DNA sequence: GGCGTGGGTCTGTCAAGCAGACCTAGCGTG
DNA sequence: CACGCTAGGTCTGCTTGACAGACCCACGCC
């Protein structure tokens, strides 16, 4: 079996995990989405070891999920902060999905620490499945996985 | 700062990652969702080291995401396979979110390997944001995070 | 010139990942 | 009965990564 660079195997999930699959990455992203953008703040709030944080941030910048944005507060030296790119912003559904699952299946004793609201009406926002024809998809039963154009056969099967 | 067991901190995302945040976990789940349920098959198809797979499966069973189901094919010894519990099935949106992001932002050269279709109409299924009042939420701009009942103050802020 | 600050790097330890060999219960075969 | 095959693991030893804690250093301020 070839080296199987788990990040580039023929599967979008695996490739995604190659970008955001490391242990602290999601926690870092969670903070950046919250507006925490500076190294020391992220470090303090996630508790990630500095070295690891350095690595993760560098990797995320490398993958264009974050970009380093120089800024300077008046009377201060130039600094930089980490901001989401469009590619990074598109990870929001992943975070929301993780959040929703956690709220539901590993709830905190005193209730969720975070509500995600619709800005206009204040109602809670959640993820839903819908097909391109506009039908709501209520249960997993209603969806079917099909091989796409890039599908390659896989040897192991049992059915 | 206390030990900060990253899995139990006051954040549903962190707690979720405590369950499914390990490197191979999502790949294992991907296979189980595809219907690959037996140790050796999962091992062959993900390429995960056996030891790691043993650990991950045990952890997932421990967290009630999977359950070990005994079965026996006629003339064969009793075996068991790994099946999703309801808790595990609820992870589907997470997988879909990862898949969608990968398809979009780290595409395979020859197109996605997997299409997820609505069983009835064949149209592609995707995740959408919607608020409890029924409004579609098109952009992240339209959502606002608010502290929930379990929110605890955090020291670090910059705004 | 000394100090505080942000954003790191260096070092040593210890846990985890990994490949590859080995093990074992039970069944069908001869 | 002895034999070998198979699923689902264990065991071993090496390499990699996580981690804590100390150190660093450029800059702007006083």
Contacts of residue A89 in chain B, CB cutoff 8 Å?
140
pLDDT category at B37 given cuts 50, 70, 90 is: very high
Residue labelled with tokens 């999977």: B66
In a 3-state reduction of DSSP, which class is residue B146? strand
Residues B27, B44: Cα–Cα separation, whole Å: 12
How does pLDDT run across A101-159, given as a tens digit for each residue?
Answer: 999 999 988 889 899 999 989 999 999 999 999 999 988 889 998 888 887 665 433 33
Q: Is B81 on the interface with A (CB under 8 A)?
A: no
If you average pLDDT over residues A54-75, what whole number do you get? 91
B73 touches strand C (CB under 7 A): no
pLDDT category at B4 given cuts 50, 70, 90 is: very low
What lies within 8 Å, CB to CB, of A55 at 6+ separation is none
Q: Is A125 on the interface with B (CB under 8 A)?
A: yes
Instruction: Give me the total of CB pairs closer than 8 Å, taking one residue from chain A and one from chain B.
Output: 311
Burial label, A77 (beta-carbon count in 10 A; 0-12, 13-18, 19+):
exposed
Taking CA–CA distances from A37, the nearest residue in chain B reads B158
Q: Which pLDDT does position B153 carry in this prediction?
A: 61
Q: Is B49 on the interface with A (CB under 8 A)?
A: no
Q: Provide DSSP, A77-123.
A: --EEEEEE-HHHHTTHHHHHHHHHHHHHHS--TT--SEEEEETTT-P
Among the partner-chain residues A21, A45, A145, the one whose CB lies closest to the CB of B114 is A145
């Amino acid at each position: 079996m070839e080296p199987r660079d788990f990040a580039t195997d023929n599967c979008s999930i695996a490739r995604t995990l190659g970008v955001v699959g490391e242990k602290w990455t999601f926690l870092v992203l969670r903070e950046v989405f919250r507006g925490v953008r500076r190294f020391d703040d992220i470090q303090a709030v996630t508790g990630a070891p500095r070295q690891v944080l350095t690595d993760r941030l560098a990797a995320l910048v490398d993958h264009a999920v974050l970009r380093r944005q120089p800024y300077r507060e008046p009377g201060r030296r130039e600094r930089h902060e980490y901001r989401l790119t469009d590619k990074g912003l598109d990870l929001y559904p992943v975070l929301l999905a993780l959040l929703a699952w956690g709220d539901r299946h590993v709830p905190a004793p005193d209730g969720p620490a975070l509500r995600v609201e619709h800005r206009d009406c204040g109602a809670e926002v959640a993820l839903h499945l819908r097909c391109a024809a506009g039908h709501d998809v209520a249960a997993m039963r209603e969806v079917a996985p099909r091989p796409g154009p890039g599908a390659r056969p896989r040897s192991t099967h049992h059915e």
